[in-house]
Amino acid sequence: MQTNLLIKNKKLNTSILIKKNYISTFVKNIARKNEKVFCVIDSKIKNKFNFIKEKNIKIITIECGEKIKTINGYKDLAEKLIKNNVNRKSVLVAIGGGTLGDLAGFVSSTVLRGLDFFLIPTTLLSQVDSSIGGKNGINTAYGKNLIGTFYQPKNVLIDISVLDSLPKKEIKSGYAEIIKHALINDYAFFCWLEKNINKLLNLNKSILEKAIYKSIMIKLFYVRKDEKESLLNSHSRAMLNFGHTIGHAIESHYNYKKYNHGEAISIGMITEAKISNYLGLLSSTELDRIIIHFKKYKFKIFDRILKEKKLIKIISKDKKNFKDNINFSLINKIGSSIFYEKLNKDKVYKILQKI
Ligand SMILES: NC(=O)c1ccc[n+]([C@@H]2O[C@H](COP(=O)([O-])OP(=O)(O)OC[C@H]3O[C@@H](n4cnc5c(N)ncnc54)[C@H](O)[C@@H]3O)[C@@H](O)[C@H]2O)c1
Ligand SMILES: [Zn+2]
């Protein structure tokens, strides 16, 4: 596996660099080329870097987590930039997990109608998923990511050396998005993950790099075909939402406190795989194989809220819905997904009672 890898995408006007021990140099290079750099960093990792003293870098640290993805989180960061004389030539660099990336991306795309944005994801989840594709956003009381834009970072730097300090729970959260990519798109990748999951969760460098690279390429496949998520077929970017219709509703119901994102979508993926099986799309043998994989490594697969009407109410607010039907991305085999728009909320409730 090549360790320095540059993935350029002209259509999306973005590039993704995979390189180890490179964050400080990367930020210093941005500082050399730009008048003023606002560097927003997750407070947990701020001490890892040595660019803090550059004169034209204004450091802003934020205690991260889902709680920052709010209107208030947006206001705080946007006003900090404005108070510190942000101008059209200023650039924003975000160094942190998916919550920081989602907030900072939204701020970058709106303050002064758009600042150049550089993204350095520091959790496994953000390296394999949220830093790719240009979606950003904040939550509202009515549901997750309901306010946001599509805005591609100029460059994304994936540096796996930063993952050393990541708690196991967060590594598993990132794994959930990796296995999602395999389940919707790549059977061979799923088989490879079955064999290599242990090494991956223990941060074996070459296994990790391969999994990250594979995940990014699968995500890019959908983003290139359907950047703004307007297709309604199996090439739709919505396929990446497998497990998320249910997962987002669970997160929202528990106010983002009971589960992290990966845990919620693990429950979501197993439930949506069961729905796929109930509808005759996915065979029972394949469903069992997926469940065994999740159970063996103690991923969450169930929560009692799945059986309650309250969940259906939240699901009905999902962005992917239109008219009365709830749209799902389901799987019809391991490695293959379809867009399913035939279920109304009563039907979903009934199915959830039976599976
Ligand atoms: N925009 C997208 O396309 C997209 C895709 C998937 C997920 N998401 C979003 O991503 C968010 C989840 O991201 P996340 O899992 O990275 O959460 P997060 O940003 O909350 O990070 C998880 C925890 O790890 C800490 N952390 C970050 N980097 C660390 C490091 N290197 N070492 C030690 N601790 C570190 C954080 O402070 C936090 O406590 C959710 O809001 C989800 O909706 C967005
Ligand atoms: Zn996700």
pLDDT of residue 322: 67
| Ligand 1, atom 19: closest residue by C-alpha | 97
Query: Looking at residue 172, what is its pLDDT?
Result: 98
Asked if residue 127 and residue 178 are part of one domain, the reply reads no
Domain boundary among 162, 189, 207: 162
pLDDT score at 5: 81
Q: Are residues 148 and 172 in the same domain?
A: no
Its pTM stands at 0.96
Pocket of ligand 1 from Cβ distances under 6 Å: 42, 44-45, 64-66, 69, 96-100, 102, 122-123, 125-126, 129-130, 133, 135-136, 145, 162-163, 165-166, 170, 173, 261
Same domain, 29 and 11: yes
Nearest Cα to 126, choosing from 92, 86, 99?
99
- 289 and 257 in a single domain? The answer is yes
DSSP-derived secondary structure letter, 89: T
Of 181, 214, 244, 300, the active-site residue reads 244
Question: Residue 261 Cα, ligand 2 centroid: separation in angstroms?
Answer: 7
Instruction: Quote the number of domains for the chain.
Output: 2
Question: 175 and 158 share a domain?
Answer: no
Q: Does residue 250 sit in the same domain as residue 281?
A: yes
Residues 153 and 177 in one domain: no
Answer whether 293's CB lies under 8 Å from 326's CB: no
What's the pLDDT score for residue 109?
98
- Structural domain span for residue 251: 168-354
Do 347 and 210 sit in the same domain of this protein?
A: yes
Is the same domain home to 44 and 76?
A: yes
Identify the active-site residue in 144, 219, 293, 320.
Answer: 219
User: Which of 201, 210, 193 lies closest to 172 in space, CA to CA?
Assistant: 201
In tens digits, what is the pLDDT along the chain, a chain of 355 residues?
556 788 888 788 899 999 999 999 999 999 999 999 999 999 999 999 877 677 899 999 999 999 999 999 999 999 999 999 999 999 999 999 999 999 999 999 999 999 999 999 999 999 999 999 999 999 998 888 999 999 999 999 999 999 999 999 999 999 999 999 999 999 999 999 999 999 999 999 999 999 999 999 999 999 999 999 999 889 999 999 999 999 999 999 999 999 999 999 999 999 999 999 999 999 999 999 999 999 999 999 999 999 999 999 999 876 666 677 899 999 999 999 999 998 999 999 999 999 9
Q: Which bound ligand lies closest to the C-alpha atom of 122?
A: 1
pLDDT given for residue 317 in this prediction: 78
CA of 355 to the centre of ligand 1 (A): 31
At 29, the amino acid letter reads N
As a residue count, the chain comes to 355
CATH number at residue 30: 3.40.50.1970
* Residue 149, strand partner residues: none
Q: Which atom of ligand 1 is nearest to the CA of 163?
A: 31
Phi-psi region of 145 (alpha: psi -120 to 50; beta: other; left: phi over 0): left
Q: Any catalytic annotation for residue 293?
A: no
Question: What contacts 24+ positions apart, CB below 8 Å, involve 178-181?
Answer: 178/124, 178/128, 178/211, 178/214, 178/215, 179/269, 179/293, 180/240, 180/242, 180/243, 180/265, 180/269, 181/128, 181/129, 181/214, 181/215, 181/218, 181/219, 181/240
Pull the structure tokens for residue 80: 């900090």
Distance 97 CA to ligand 1 centre (A): 3
Catalytic member of 139, 241, 277, 327: 241
Specify whether 227 is catalytic.
no
pLDDT at 11: 82
User: The sheet that has 37-42: what strands, in order across it?
Assistant: 5-9, 14-18, 155-158, 116-121, 91-96, 37-42, 57-62
181 classed as catalytic = no
Question: How far, in Å, is the centroid of ligand 2 from the Cα of 22?
Answer: 26
Residue finishing a domain among 140, 162, 184: 162
292 is written with which tokens?
């065994």
Domain edge (last residue) among 122, 137, 162: 162
Question: Does residue 219 share a domain with residue 333?
Answer: yes
- What pLDDT sits at residue 329? 96
Q: Which atom of ligand 1 is nearest to the CA of 145?
A: 43
pLDDT, position 324: 77
Which residue CA neighbors atom 18 of ligand 1 most closely?
Answer: 97
CATH number at residue 250: 1.20.1090.10
177 is catalytic: yes
Same-domain check for residues 143 and 183: no
Are residues 152 and 184 both part of a single domain? no
Q: Which of 44, 62, 150, 242 to mutate to test the pocket of ligand 1 (most atoms within 8 A of CB)?
A: 44
